[in-house]
Amino acid sequence: MPEDAVDKIQRHTLVLESPRGLETMDLARRLRELGAPMTVLPDFEAAEEVLREEDLDVGAILVPTPYEPDVVGRHLDLLCGLAPKDGLRFISVGESPDKGHRKRLRKVGVKLAMWNPLQEAHLRFQLNRAHSPAPDGFGNRESPRVPTDWGCAVSVGGRTKDAAIFSLAETGAFLATKRAVMNGARVSLQMFLPDGVMDAEADVVYANVPGNLQKPGLPLGMGVQFDGVDKRDRKRLRNLIKESVALLEV
């Protein structure tokens, strides 16, 4: 997706180095490429010092999975108490831990994850969730919305344009494109999903266009609602979404 397709992330992110000495250079590099303000720190004590002494609007702390959940829990409440009024959220990063480790993380209050393999769409989506004063999560649990970086061809009025599937649900999607179709239009979609191409008809329910950003947190583009998707394709969508959620929630 083009870099100018999404607003830059404004709040600051703290990245803790792994207690096992594993590199955080790749994650830090990817954050810089997104234009996200960030600082790499050696441990929780250094994060506490930053929150006490530096005038930074910190919204998230990325915690590598080798940290023991009990250790994370001891620091979470203290650091959140030092954070700005909009709140502070921990994100578990790195290799996906086992079920027991995940359960303990949830118990101490860590809800968000960015586990390998990490896609750019996941990274941006999770940071926006963490930095928001009231993150909307994945939306309605009956139809969760997840980030993607998959392509899509949009046809309307005999013309076809390229778009990126910025987020996807079983019932619809948000398509990032500088040439959005206006509200109420009927469009034909050819979505290039990991398990193959899927064709669908859809109605445009809102257009995010310059001068009329109905959803300021989204890129330029349009929200569409699928119409007439058969049971087989609904199952495909449901399985793909389930796989994405598993990488993004503890």
From first to last of its 250 residues, the chain has per-residue pLDDT tens of: 333 334 567 789 999 998 776 667 788 888 888 888 999 999 999 999 999 988 888 989 999 999 999 999 999 989 988 876 667 899 999 989 999 999 999 999 999 999 888 887 888 888 888 887 554 454 444 567 889 989 999 999 889 999 999 999 999 999 999 989 888 999 999 999 999 999 999 999 999 888 777 777 678 899 999 998 999 999 999 999 988 888 888 9
* Distance, CA of 225 to chain centre: 20
Q: Which domain holds residue 205?
A: 146-248
53 and 98 assigned to the same domain: yes
**Which CATH number fits the domain that encloses residue 10?**
3.40.50.2300
8 and 92 assigned to the same domain: yes
DSSP 3-state of 226:
strand
DSSP single-letter state for residue 212 = B
110 belongs to a structural domain: yes
140 belongs to a structural domain: no
How many other C-beta atoms are found inside a 10 Å radius of the C-beta of residue 101? 16
46 and 113 assigned to the same domain: yes
- The pTM for the full model equals 0.77
Q: What's the total number of domains in the chain?
A: 2
Distance CA 39, CA 193 (A): 35
120 and 156 assigned to the same domain: no
37 and 98 assigned to the same domain: yes
34 belongs to a structural domain: yes
